[in-house]
Amino acid sequence: MTLAVLVSALVAAPGTATAARGLFVYYEPSGGAGIIDPDDNTCYRLEPGTYHLDNQTNRQALLYAAPDCGGAPSAVMAPNTELGAPGHAAVLFHR
């Protein structure tokens, strides 16, 4: 394979979206729910009344009081940590 063909193949290769690996679990009054392999830099709304979070992903989870992830994060969860969740309305995953 010539260098030109190799470079052309690399440029033509489709890009892939980045995502966390793992599960983000949140608990609300009616039970637990989870987000599997959440996309990076995507805002995920949490259910009203969410009271506990379990970040089983390989990314930081940025927590927000606003449901649209607006403003500054109200808390940051490291990978593989748990946290009480009162007041958090949304989560965004960051590398």
pLDDT in tens, 19-63: 899 999 999 989 999 999 999 999 999 999 999 999 999 999 999
Query: How far is Cα 91 from Cα 34, in angstroms, rounded to an integer?
Result: 12
Candidates 60, 18, 62; CA nearest to 37 is 18
Q: Tell me the average pLDDT across 77-84.
A: 96
Evaluate whether 88 touches 63 at the Cβ level (below 8 Å): yes
- Quick one: fold of 19-94? Gamma-B Crystallin; domain 1 (2.60.20)
Q: Is the pLDDT of residue 14 over 70?
A: no
The stretches of the chain forming alpha helices (DSSP H) are: 3-12
Note the pLDDT of residue 3.
33
pTM for this prediction: 0.79
Residue 5 is classified by DSSP as: H
Q: Is the pLDDT of residue 16 over 70?
A: no
Distance of alpha carbon 6 from its chain centroid, rounded? 34
Evaluate whether 55 touches 79 at the Cβ level (below 8 Å): yes
Q: Is the pLDDT of residue 8 over 90?
A: no
Ordered by start, the domain boundaries in the chain are 19-94
